[in-house]
Amino acid sequence: MHQPTVAPSSVPVGVDTTRASIARVYDAALNGKDNYEVDREVLRQVATVAPQVKDLAWSNRNFLTRACRFLAGQAGITQYLDCGSGLPTAENTHQVVQRLQPDARVLYIDNDPVVLAHGRALLQENDQTLFISADIFDPDEVLGTPEVREFLDFDQPIAVIQNGTLHHYLGEDSTELMQQYVDAVVPGSYTVIAHFLDPQTPEHSEIARKMEEKFTHSPMGSGVFRTYEQIRAMFPGQELIEPGLVLCDEWWPDGPRVTPLNQVEECIAGAVGRKLPA
């Protein structure tokens, strides 16, 4: 299938209430209030093939929270570039990391106007958090933005977060995209990625493909389920922190599992990478 080289999400939908937006659909999945009927309809369409579709969002978000706790608590990271922040919700990145590293600086980026309006009001709650509008799939734009260079010290380790974003990137080469971010940071920096997964198993591949079909043909327009191999390639020049690239729910869970993962939870994976010395 021919895929456009520019992700549709590089062109924000604006505040058009007749078009679905990634941020608002995600907010609806997390039971937020900042979404419209057109956004909820996307979830209803996907739910016809995967009734537990909202668990994709919960697995993604809970992984982000645990990864941030690891970065601030264990790795001692004090600088965060959160690409595609999403609408404010409970436990935003700066709240998680500043609880453990009170001086941590968090730079949020998004291109959705609704996210920007709410984000500026709610996420920028202290001097160590900043919100800017940029295209996260254009690293030159992000890394060339003067506020980014002024706010973060690129001579010190930075955590680059692409959580729940790259499955909306329809360009040819997400490795090259991530390479540009990795090249910009010093060794000892980290990358966090959560991504829709085609686990390539007889039990779960079919549902992944069906969800992809529904997402890409919905008014939201994207949601690619890539393989472990394709997602691993998004960590160029990095070692993966244990346990490596695994289902989001299996990356350092908060405790023992008492119920099996459902089919949807088998279709989203995540990892944390650390940049190796040259």
Asked if residue 236 binds ligand SAM (CB under 6 A), the reply is no
Q: Choose which of 163, 191, 218, 238 interacts with ligand SAM (CB under 6 A).
A: 163
Chain centre distance of CA 94: 15
Angstrom distances, CA of residue 29 to CA of 42, 43, 56, 126, 170: 10, 7, 8, 28, 22
Q: How many CB atoms lie within 10 A of CB 95?
A: 16
Does the protein bind ligand SAM through residue 128 (CB under 6 A)? no
Which one among 20, 50, 64, 170 touches ligand SAM, defined by CB under 6 A? 64
Cβ–Cβ < 8 Å for 24, 9: no
In the complex, what is the shortest distance from the CB of residue 110 to ligand SAM, in angstroms, rounded to a whole number? 4
The CA distance from 152 to 204, in Å, is 41
**Near ligand SAM by CB under 6 A: residue from 9, 62, 78, 79:** 9
State yes or no: residue 10 binds ligand SAM (CB under 6 A): yes
User: Measured from the CB atom, is 10 or 230 closer to ligand SAM?
Assistant: 10
Separation of alpha carbons 159 and 258, rounded Å: 32
Work out how close the CB of 25 gets to ligand SAM at its nearest, in angstroms, rounded to a whole number. Answer: 8
| Residue number, 90 or 258, with CB nearest to ligand SAM | 90
For 64: left if phi > 0, alpha if psi spans -120 to 50, otherwise beta; the answer is alpha
Contact status: 86 vs ligand SAM (CB under 6 A): yes
The residue from 55, 67, 72, 112 that contacts ligand SAM (CB under 6 A) is 112
**What is the distance between the alpha carbons of residues 107 and 79, in angstroms, rounded to a whole number?**
8
User: How many amino acids of this chain bind ligand SAM (CB under 6 A)?
Assistant: 24
Q: How far is the CB of 231 from ligand SAM (least distance, A)?
A: 15
Using CB under 6 A as the binding rule, whether residue 221 contacts ligand SAM is answered as: no
Q: Report, in angstroms and rounded to the nearest whole number, the Rg of the chain calculated over CA atoms.
A: 17
Task: Choose the binding region for ligand SAM from 37-45, 103-111, 152-160, 257-265 (rule: CB under 6 A).
Answer: 103-111
- Is the distance from CB of 133 to CB of 125 less than 8 angstroms? no
Helix orientation angle between 37-47 and 22-29, rounded to the nearest 10 degrees: 70
Query: Phi and psi for 177 in degrees, rounded to 5?
Result: -60, -50
78 lines the binding site for ligand SAM (CB under 6 A): no
> Rule CB under 6 A: is residue 62 a binding residue for ligand SAM?
no
Residue 58 interacts with ligand SAM (CB under 6 A)?
no
Give the binding site for ligand SAM (CB under 6 A). 7, 9-10, 22-23, 26, 60-61, 64, 84-86, 109-112, 115, 135-137, 163-165, 168
